[in-house]
Amino acid sequence: MAASMIKALLLALVVCLAHASNLRAEDPPKRVWEIGALAAQTVTASLKAELHTAMKAGGPAGAVEICSRKALDITSQVADELGVSGLQIKRTSLRIRNARNRPDGLEKDILREYAQSDSQGLALEPRIVDAGLVWRYFSPIRVGSLCVLCHGDVDRIARSVAGTLETYYPADEAVGYRPGDLRGIFSVTIPKASLAETENDL
């Protein structure tokens, strides 16, 4: 077969593959960014309010106890209130405290990418992955100044807090952080079908 014909066939194959890739992947609509950001912001605000109340009532140890009982419920409640059927919100990390927040394969990849960018001093921006039937929205979570009361250096965590952590999270990995450290990510799963239904209702 002539070299020119081989080149032509290779070029045609490249064009076909690129076209197929474009058919599979689509740009996330603005609504996906809005839902993802709103989910992360609402969960953050709700958890902070709950923890501040718990801190006033029972100090850091009380906040750990409340977090163990209510954090997942608050996250689920926010997902329900946003009005997108099948919406899932999750906080996860490579160093988890609650085993129910363990990252899946894609979340691990995103966490590692964020960690690498963070180590290089790069800005960490929210991102969206097209995962077939769903959109996956991710945004970084930083450690706040109050977070180190129960997520900080082990030697500096109060005994009462350490005892409470041992009670509720015996396999805890989420310590040793400093303010500003990358703690983990928000992971928001948005079904495309539900998003289309929501848009049709507008």
The answer to whether residue 12 scores a pLDDT higher than 60 is no
Nearest to 135 by CA among 193, 79, 189: 189
Crossing angle of the two packed helices 159-168 and 30-81, in degrees rounded to 10: 90
Sheet of 134-142: strands edge to edge? 88-92, 182-191, 134-142, 127-130
Lowest mean pLDDT across 16-25, 72-81, 162-171: 16-25
pTM, two decimal places: 0.82
pLDDT tens readout for residues 88-136: 999 999 999 999 999 999 999 999 999 999 999 999 999 999 999 999 9
pLDDT tens readout for residues 61-73: 888 888 888 899 9
Three-class secondary structure of residue 82 per DSSP: coil
How many H helices and E strands in the chain?
6, 4
The answer to whether residue 8 scores a pLDDT higher than 50 is no
What is the average per-residue pLDDT within 74-89?
94
Do strands 88-92 and 182-191 pair parallel, antiparallel, or not at all (unpaired)? antiparallel
Cα dihedral value 44, 50, 51, 53, nearest 10? 140
Share of the chain above pLDDT 90, in %: 66
Tell which wins on pLDDT, 127 or 11. 127
- Please report the pLDDT score of residue 9 as a whole number: 38
The answer to whether residue 46 scores a pLDDT higher than 50 is yes
Lowest mean pLDDT across 14-28, 45-59, 63-77, 80-94: 14-28
- Please report the pLDDT score of residue 25 as a whole number: 53
> What gap in Å lies between CA 36 and CA 188, rounded to an integer?
6
In this structure, are residues 174 and 72 in contact, taking their beta carbons and an 8 Å threshold? Answer: no
